[in-house]
Structure 1
Amino acid sequence: MSKALLSFDDKALLLSATALDMILLCQRRGFALDTLLKGSKLFEQDLRKATTKISPQQYLQLVGNCQKALPGPELAYLTAQSWLHHNHSPLLLMLRYSANLQQALLSFYRYRSQLLPLLYLRLQRLQGQLRLVVRPSFALDKQQSFVEQVLFHYLLGLIKQQLGTTAGLSLTTTVVDQHCNWLMQHHWQLQPGHALQSSLILPSALLKPPFAEANPQLWQQQHNWCLYLQQSVPDKTSFTEQLEQWLFANLRHAPSQEAAAQHWGLSLSSFKRLLAQHHTSYQQLQDQVKACAAQHALLQQGMSNKELASRLGYSDEHNFRRAFKRWTGLLPSQLRS
């Protein structure tokens, strides 16, 4: 295993980077701090320390409290706007001072645990485009849409702030929400599409044009601070994220649950118990991975059913079509159309 496991109650996230702006935003709207911190086991003095660490569980509790204070999709947009004008987060400053979008995305990819630790990105290059596929690191339930929306609003805002346009970008989400879609149309002139995985697709031509605030010296200063902060945060990744990455890497072999347990050095019962603690199962994760890979191959690469069946470890095309309908509710031909 390349990294230690991040559990739901591990204090490995920086409060100042992940949740502070959201809390202060609600506080400025007149909501009592006690209400916003309720159930999180945090106190006012914790907000003043740059190195205060919280667990994924505490983070989601804070998100839930803030959503009760400011219900609706505006909280995600306003939080992202705070990040765009944030002057005390080394990571956010480093992204603004990047030479271009390519450097900013690579920096975000490397240090995202300091900002949005409950999501991870899969980068896919294809036909003049870069696709940022967003996957949850934990079972986030109703909070997943909020966390994804914060990420999308921030990245779109950064691109608009530094390059002056969001033209040519497109967005897909797993949940259809009219209010969220209206915000995307109103602020970024984007109409999100519905898909099996949430993603931001941008033209490769946007990667190299210089940022408006590009500054190599200031970028290096903030990068040094990010390195320093990273040393105070345990280098851990959730079990489901590590397992998903392993399943993506071994798509063609379709490893069994027993093989996966052996890879992690666990007994089958311990392996199943660990998955249950993350509110998922091996079959569920494997289906999600295959469905995401199948959608990408069908829509982006134009693979035939036979080619895709082979890639996903199916010797029989009919069995693949049946499995595909179980994953997505559609036949491959229906998804293409």
Structure 2
Amino acid sequence: MMQKIAYAHDKCIDSQLLVFNVVALFEHRQLDIDTLLRGTQIFKQDLQQVEYHISPLQLGKLIDNALRMWPGNDLAFLLGQQWLPSQSGHLTNGLLCCKHLLQMQVFWQRHHWHCQPWLQGWRWRSGQSNHLLLQLDLGCHRHRRFFIELTLSSLVSSYKRLSRHQWQGQFALPFPKPNSVDQYYKYLGESLLFDQPVCVVSYDSKMNQQQFEMANRQGYLQANHLISQKQSQSKYQIGLPGAIRRLLLESCDNQYSLPAVAMQLSLSPATLKRRLKEYQLTFQQLQDEANLQKAIYLLAISGENNLNVAKRLNFADGNNFRRSFKRWTGQLPSQFKYWLAQN
């Protein structure tokens, strides 16, 4: 059953999380809040409301303003550091009561729409390594780097807070090495790979079972139940880009065309194109992202050869697949067969 889908203009993002924290941080630095909120149609008094929500378009404009105004390159990292203590109610309780890293990831994936709805996550395993692959929902591609920095900073800081240990793992980042790389070393550590095809967090599977100090099974179950109840009543549960990507990834024959996806979403092809344009996305972009994710999984996790991957992805032949893979990543698929094994 298709989840309730949010379009670009839908008020689907809880302002009490990221938006409230951005405003609070700017106030603390004595930066002009009127300028921060200019053009967003968000007003300061709105943020005092318990159930005030904003749209993906409003969020994008807010992040545009914030990045332009912030006197440095660490805004996303600082917000990530505040992520766990700034969560509200049952979200905080559930995270604090998690038994270990694996349970924390399961909890986050199950309820991420209520804390970081701009993301989708998949957990993979190869040998003794675990991999968390992250893709953007809600069409935030223009701010991909910001949201990845925010998410990874929140992961590392939450892990440190709950386990009392330093994070030990590697980050594959899908953008060039920035000039301000010191921020990455400070907040994420030095095990970093830039210019990668997708965002992947890799770490030794032993970390999954390392006990958290505040683990409380009853507290975790209660928080999980209460948020699940709230989630079932929520008007929205996934963004349009995320819903399309999920359909494409779950397609066995890899033949989901734009008209077929539009039919699944009860939209006309023209309406689907228009809805995606509001997100500044095209169907082809999402299709390429899904194909790349499938290809990397088949190459690096399943160990398939190029010809088998080409067949699984419904390419005419291996050469066609290799050309497409190089267009997506700038490299040949053979260079990724042991990519995650090296992470």
Query: Is this a same-fold pair by TM over 0.5?
Result: yes
Residue in 1 aligned with 2:309?
A: 308
Map residues 114-153 of structure 1 onto 2, 5 A cutoff: 114-153=114-153
Q: Partner of 1:26: helix, strand, or coil?
A: helix
Q: Is the Cα contact below 8 Å between 1:133 and 1:200 reproduced in 2?
A: yes
The unaligned stretches of length 5 or more in structure 2 are: 339-343
Q: For each residue in 1:140-164, what CA deviation from the matched residue of structure 2 results, as whole angstroms up to 9, or x when unmatched?
A: 2432211111110000111122223
Residue in 2 aligned with 1:272?
A: 273
Residue in 2 aligned with 1:74?
A: 74
Q: Partner of 1:178: helix, strand, or coil?
A: coil
Aligned-partner Cα distance in 2 for 1:270–1:258: 11
Q: Partner of 1:271: helix, strand, or coil?
A: helix
Q: Partner of 2:172: helix, strand, or coil?
A: strand
Map residues 243-282 of structure 1 onto 2, 5 A cutoff: 243-250=244-251, 252-282=253-283
Aligned-partner Cα distance in 2 for 1:112–1:33: 28
Q: Which amino acid aligns with 1:97?
A: C
Q: Which amino acid aligns with 1:100?
A: H
Q: Partner of 1:190: helix, strand, or coil?
A: coil
Aligned-partner Cα distance in 1 for 2:112–2:8: 17
Please report how far the alpha carbon of residue 259 of structure 1 lies from its aligned counterpart in structure 2 after TM superposition: 2.9
Aligned-partner Cα distance in 1 for 2:165–2:301: 24
Q: Which amino acid aligns with 1:134?
A: L
Residue in 2 aligned with 1:321?
A: 322
Please report how far the alpha carbon of residue 108 of structure 1 lies from its aligned counterpart in structure 2 after TM superposition: 1.1
Q: Is the Cα contact below 8 Å between 2:17 and 2:86 reproduced in 1?
A: no
Pair 258,33 (structure 1): closer, same or farther in 2 beyond 3 Å: closer
CA RMSD of aligned residues (A): 2.5
Q: Is the Cα contact below 8 Å between 2:310 and 2:321 reproduced in 1?
A: yes
Q: Which amino acid aligns with 2:135?
A: R
Aligned-partner Cα distance in 2 for 1:238–1:62: 18
Give the fraction of aligned pairs with identical amino acids, expressed as a percent.
Answer: 25
Residue in 2 aligned with 1:169?
A: 169
Q: Partner of 2:322: helix, strand, or coil?
A: helix
Aligned-partner Cα distance in 1 for 2:108–2:298: 26
Q: Which amino acid aligns with 1:285?
A: L
Pair 270,85 (structure 1): closer, same or farther in 2 beyond 3 Å: closer
Q: Partner of 1:144: helix, strand, or coil?
A: helix
Moved more, 240-249 or 320-329: 320-329
Pair 54,270 (structure 1): closer, same or farther in 2 beyond 3 Å: closer
Q: Partner of 2:42: helix, strand, or coil?
A: coil
Residue in 2 aligned with 1:63?
A: 63
Please report how far the alpha carbon of residue 81 of structure 1 lies from its aligned counterpart in structure 2 after TM superposition: 1.5
Pair 161,202 (structure 1): closer, same or farther in 2 beyond 3 Å: same
Aligned-partner Cα distance in 1 for 2:216–2:255: 46
Residue in 1 aligned with 2:200?
A: 199
- Whether 1:50 aligns to 2:50 is yes
Q: Is the Cα contact below 8 Å between 2:27 and 2:33 reproduced in 1?
A: yes
The unaligned stretches of length 5 or more in structure 1 are: none
Q: Which amino acid aligns with 1:281?
A: T
- Whether 1:240 aligns to 2:241 is yes
Pair 96,143 (structure 1): closer, same or farther in 2 beyond 3 Å: same
Q: For each residue in 1:265-318, what CA deviation from the matched residue of structure 2 results, as whole angstroms up to 9, or x when unmatched?
A: 443333333333332222222122112222333234432111211221125222
**What TM-score results when the alignment is normalised by the length of structure 2?**
0.87
